Structure 1
Amino acid sequence: MSGTVLAGVLPAATAPAEQIGEPVVNIAIFGAFVLVTLVIVFRASRNNRSAADYYAAGRSFTGPQNGTAIAGDYLSAASFLGICGAIAIYGYDGFLYSIGFLVAWLVALLLVAELLRNTGRFTMADVLSFRLRQRPVRMAAAISTLAVVFFYLLAQMAGAGGLVALLLGLDTAAAQGVVIAVVGTLMILYVLVGGMKGTTWVQIIKAILLIVGAGVMTVWVLARFGFNLSELLQGAIDVAGEGGETLIEPGRQYGASALTQLNFLSLALALVLGTAGLPHVLMRFYTVPSAKEARRSVVWAIWLIGIFYLFTLVLGYGAGALVGPERIASAPGRANSAAPLLAYELGGVLLLGIISAVAFATILAVVAGLTITAAASFAHDIYASVIKRGEVEPDKEVRVARITVVAIGALAILGGIFANGQNVAFLVALAFAVAASANLPTIIYSLFWKRFNTAGALWSMYGGLVSCLVLIAFSPVVSGKVDAATGESLSMIRDTSVDFAIFPLENPGIVSIPLAFLLGIVGTLLSKEQPDPEKFAEMEVRSLTGAGAEKATPH
């Protein structure tokens, strides 16, 4: 998840591939993982008899199980590969990503996890529409959810294609497109058959593999330096050559100017607040039987994610010391190649094959989680609640969700092929910025502000969504950003002569998030609609105590 916020970390489709390891070994290990997880998904699907089974896994997972699945959902391949590369190249500034993504979970724990579990049933829109007008609020929430999920899916699918160049030795756009299609097809199969229960088990297995794999590599790297962290840091400084001391000092990446510092502040704000508004993370809170288990699941997730990000510190500096930033920067995956190159340096073909398989499995698990979130949002919020006005059989709703899975999967495959070689940082940063701008203000106002009404919710959600999209469209990530060394475009538009970037920051969070909060207040105060005090009191009691949490949300 987090590592793809690094600009230019994925190769262009035409980048020549450096052949390392044995592609046959990589494919064999990955194939074995797919086979095992498919068996698990098919077994899990036997119990999918209702909407609650399909969307929320029958609320049958414990806090530790759900926490592990959340970690699996949150720690994507980019989190493993991208952050390691960021630390290897930028040192201290790269580790700020790890710190930011861990701190984000405190926001989720303190503000949303338990309250959302008590108030909703399947989706974020259940909470937002509890005391507001159902149809307009559900439509707005579903649109913002689909926007976040779609851009996130594009990033993961394009990431799968970009990693192919290094992991399987394929360097053509057509070959990478085939891999994107294979990943997309497996994703559709997982979600279509297994629902949330099957997807959750895939994420649990993947999280364990990723954390154990990173842990083994961490111990291996430390052993190379006598388990002395100072020696490891000095090794990275020595290999970096002139200016290597800046690897352990702040400012190597974001200290060039006041603009770069402001850009980092904006990005950090979007990522820290966006996590608590990510729909696929919020949906996981409904897979546990109680609010207590929801709280436990977040605590488990924090521990697992925190441990993993400590591993990235060692792996990042280890890659810098044992592989070298120049070799990493020149590899087809650029920063994303740091961890695989380190694996090859440490354990040869076998370890590289395992790490490669874990990386692909990670993408598979993340896109499966995103897809079921999008399917639930469309089927439950738009089809069942808006189009059918709540008068729909659960079986019919689940059938619509499965059709939605196929449609979204097909769009993700096409979009991923189209976005392959593009700046994937744009897509992930946009997903987080939309979540922080459109979703979080409305969630907080709905839970805590008695005066809040439907107009405020619509102003906040649509205002946050539109302002975010417009500012990104006119930012350097879309046009006008050029590599000073090579003269190549680092923006979505590859033509360096096209430049309509009038907004200087690469992430709009510092503008769109406060704007969304402000619009929620303005829309509420300007509207003549009076909120229902009894409904707010009921929501407050339910969110804080869990009383009546299992009742169906009224339509």
Structure 2
Amino acid sequence: MNTYLQVAAADASEHRTLIITLFSVFVAATLGVTVWAGRRTKDATDYYAGGRSFSGFQNGLAISGDYMSAASFLGIAGAISLFGYDGFLYSIGFLVAWLVALLLVAEPLRNSGRFTMGDVLAYRMRQRPVRTAAGVSTIVVSIFYLLAQMVGAGALVALLLGVSGDAGKNVIVVLVGVVMILYVTIGGMKGTTWVQMIKACLLIAGTLLITFLVMLKFDFNISTLLGAAAENSGQGAAFLEPGLKYGVSTTTEIDFISLGLALVLGTAGLPHILIRFYTVPTARAARKSVIWAIGIIGAFYLMTIALGFGAAALLSRKEITESDAAGNTAAPLLAQNIGGGADSAGGAILLAVICAVAFATILAVVAGLTLASSSSFAHDLYANVIRKGKASDREEVKAARVSSILIGGVAIVLGIFAGKLNVAFLVALAFAVAASANLPTILYSLFWKRFNTTGSLWSIYGGLSSSVLLVVFSPVVSGNPSAMFPGADFQWFPLNNPGLVSIPLGFLLGWLGTVVSKNEDVDGRKYAELEVRSLTGTGAH
């Protein structure tokens, strides 16, 4: 451990009471909100959709809280601090993606479904096979996304509490998983939404504070900040130009195209984002919520310039990577530095505050993801496939709560194995799976009259299996020291992100499965009814 980390550890010990107090206050407060909301959860509509009682602004704030995850606050800042311009590409991709959600998905999806993506897909298709596919896809995508939050939580709290070694981080991952399960089982969508709104406000406030302090240090001159970051990085001008991460070879350049495709198309297929559109009373409110989300998220991603390049300018690469090899703790370390350093009370206070904000980010996002996957299991798989539509609201909600415990357990186990990966990168994988399996089926269902059950199944299972298979045999899982299993080598797919192959394949299989099978809606009646629903919302709720 270098001198910087030794001082940081000693300082953490000295201010441990303050740190633990801040964390305890936040967790207790959000659990209190969750219990309060849980008492107002009376039926399935309350549990799945918050009673459709949130305004466009409230839902936009909650979407922002749901979307600005550990990848945004920790992973992107870390990627920028290590790779400069190429790291900032994550911010651009995550933001541009909302145009697809706004223009193609938000309003028609809210009007056409009731609780889950499966409601929209099953309306025109055979219920049981399509709902099964939608449920499986939702759970897999959610677990991929949950991995990033678990990894971020382990790195963050380990830094704050001075925990060293993989065992300590693993204990933290387990504790985060337990709190996550409590949020979902007790509060449902109402509790989760309020926690996400609180978290969004805290995250924006914390990011504004760090941005202000960083810019103050460089006299509010962005050019001076970028110049200092380039000089301190050891890369010189290359730090501010494309290619440091994705221009090393032809393979990395192609990998960047794959990453961009996944980021831009993935948002409109993310289950925990899609279910947020059902929490508002009207389609107009759904549109407003996306517009508010774009404004809030856009402002946040602009501030990641100060977070990432500020860390590169004020911290050495060694300080960043020795704390966390993937750079996930760059933003908290920057907060400590800008507050006066590891040996100051100001540094300790700012570190504790920013880590508490980041921890709030993780808890809110994991709650949303767990809710999305457990809702899909209960509503699509249990109520409509296993019970064939005969389950009561009470039984559905009970099934959702039980499944949230199981899904949380799976996320905890996988999060332990993924501890060395960058969280922004892990989220990009979830985006690729969502864009490959969910988005083609949603767009075909809403806008293609000929689309049928076979096309839907081929698209979901084909996109899902291809993306997951390519990830398993990619450098992410094996074949290099930073992989999930560094001691093994069974990788043959050269790209880190499978989107370039799996997303076109998902669209192709949806088209192919449709044209080679029988048209189930010859007269177009079901499509016409869905079109009316998507435009007006009539009959969906």
Q: TM-score of the superposition, structure 1-length normalised?
A: 0.91
Q: 1:6 matched to which residue of 2? A: none
Aligned runs of 1:72-91 on 2, under 5 Å? 72-91=65-84
Distance 1:158 1:228, change over 3 A: closer
Equivalent pair of 1:423/1:490 in contact (CA under 8 Å):
no
1:77-131: CA deviation from partner (whole Å, max 9, x where unpaired): 2311111122222211111110110000111111100010000000000011111
Q: State whether structure 2 residue 166 is matched by structure 1 residue 176.
A: no
Q: 2:497 matched to which residue of 1? A: 507
Q: State whether structure 2 residue 118 is matched by structure 1 residue 119.
A: no
Aligned runs of 1:75-224 on 2, under 5 Å? 75-224=68-217
1:206-242: CA deviation from partner (whole Å, max 9, x where unpaired): 111011100111111111111111111122123234x
Which one of 269, 290, 296 corresponds to residue 298 of structure 1? 290
Aligned runs of 1:46-445 on 2, under 5 Å? 46-241=39-234, 243-332=235-324, 334-347=326-339, 348-421=347-420, 427-445=426-444
Helix, strand or coil at the partner of 2:458: helix
Equivalent pair of 2:158/2:168 in contact (CA under 8 Å):
no
User: In 2, Cα distance between the equivalents of 1:413 and 1:17?
Assistant: 31
Q: 1:478 matched to which residue of 2? A: 477
Equivalent pair of 1:116/1:127 in contact (CA under 8 Å):
yes
1:174 partner letter: A
Instruction: Quote the offset at 1:399 in angstroms.
Output: 1.2
Distance 1:451 1:390, change over 3 A: same
User: In 1, Cα distance between the equivalents of 2:222 and 2:422?
Assistant: 34
Which one of 525, 528, 538 corresponds to residue 534 of structure 1? 525
1:539 partner letter: L
User: In 2, Cα distance between the equivalents of 1:476 and 1:125?
Assistant: 33
Equivalent pair of 2:450/2:519 in contact (CA under 8 Å):
no
User: In 2, Cα distance between the equivalents of 1:253 and 1:207?
Assistant: 30
1:160-217: CA deviation from partner (whole Å, max 9, x where unpaired): 2232332211013332222222211111111111110000100110111011100111
Instruction: Quote the offset at 1:427 in angstroms.
Output: 4.4
1:79 partner letter: S
1:122-167: CA deviation from partner (whole Å, max 9, x where unpaired): 0000011111111100000000111111222233223322323322
Task: Specify every segment of 5 or more residues in structure 1 that has no aligned partner in the other structure, as ranges.
Answer: 1-10, 482-488, 551-555
User: In 1, Cα distance between the equivalents of 2:233 and 2:458?
Assistant: 50
Q: 2:513 matched to which residue of 1? A: 523
Q: 2:343 matched to which residue of 1? A: none
2:259 partner letter: L
Instruction: Quote the offset at 1:74 in angstroms.
Output: 0.8
2:160 partner letter: L
User: In 1, Cα distance between the equivalents of 2:244 and 2:411?
Assistant: 35
1:255-294: CA deviation from partner (whole Å, max 9, x where unpaired): 1122111001101111211111000110100011111111
Instruction: Quote the offset at 1:435 in angstroms.
Output: 0.5
User: In 1, Cα distance between the equivalents of 2:298 and 2:182?
Assistant: 31
Distance 1:210 1:520, change over 3 A: same
2:220 partner letter: F
Instruction: Quote the offset at 1:254 in angstroms.
Output: 1.2
Instruction: Quote the offset at 1:39 in angstroms.
Output: 1.4
User: In 2, Cα distance between the equivalents of 1:214 and 1:470?
Assistant: 37
Bigger mean CA deviation after superposition, 352-361 or 180-189: 180-189
Equivalent pair of 1:128/1:138 in contact (CA under 8 Å):
yes
Instruction: Quote the offset at 1:403 in angstroms.
Output: 1.4
Equivalent pair of 1:17/1:171 in contact (CA under 8 Å):
no
Instruction: Quote the offset at 1:514 in angstroms.
Output: 0.4
Distance 1:418 1:237, change over 3 A: closer
User: In 2, Cα distance between the equivalents of 1:240 and 1:422?
Assistant: 21
1:283 partner letter: I
Distance 1:191 1:42, change over 3 A: same
1:344-376: CA deviation from partner (whole Å, max 9, x where unpaired): 111211111000111111111111111111111
Q: State whether structure 2 residue 528 is matched by structure 1 residue 549.
A: no
Q: What is the percentage of aligned positions where both structures have the same residue?
A: 61
Equivalent pair of 2:475/2:495 in contact (CA under 8 Å):
yes
Distance 1:67 1:453, change over 3 A: same
1:450-494: CA deviation from partner (whole Å, max 9, x where unpaired): 00000000011111111112211221112223xxxxxxx122222
Equivalent pair of 2:71/2:423 in contact (CA under 8 Å):
no
User: In 2, Cα distance between the equivalents of 1:403 and 1:331?
Assistant: 37
User: In 1, Cα distance between the equivalents of 2:213 and 2:504?
Assistant: 45
Bigger mean CA deviation after superposition, 446-455 or 472-481: 472-481
Distance 1:475 1:17, change over 3 A: farther
Distance 1:418 1:251, change over 3 A: closer
Instruction: Quote the offset at 1:334 in angstroms.
Output: 4.5
User: In 1, Cα distance between the equivalents of 2:288 and 2:104?
Assistant: 14
2:106 partner letter: A
User: In 2, Cα distance between the equivalents of 1:467 and 1:417?
Assistant: 24
1:362 partner letter: T
Helix, strand or coil at the partner of 1:549: coil
User: In 1, Cα distance between the equivalents of 2:205 and 2:422?
Assistant: 30
1:299 partner letter: I
Across the aligned residues of Structure 1 and Structure 2, the Cα RMSD in angstroms comes to 1.9
Distance 1:193 1:404, change over 3 A: same
Equivalent pair of 1:162/1:421 in contact (CA under 8 Å):
no
Instruction: Quote the offset at 1:539 in angstroms.
Output: 0.6
User: In 2, Cα distance between the equivalents of 1:474 and 1:334?
Assistant: 21
Aligned runs of 1:457-496 on 2, under 5 Å? 457-481=456-480, 489-495=481-487
How many residue pairs match? The answer is 527
Equivalent pair of 1:140/1:458 in contact (CA under 8 Å):
yes
Q: 1:455 matched to which residue of 2? A: 454
Instruction: Quote the offset at 1:420 in angstroms.
Output: 3.4
Task: Specify every segment of 5 or more residues in structure 2 that has no aligned partner in the other structure, as ranges.
Answer: 340-346
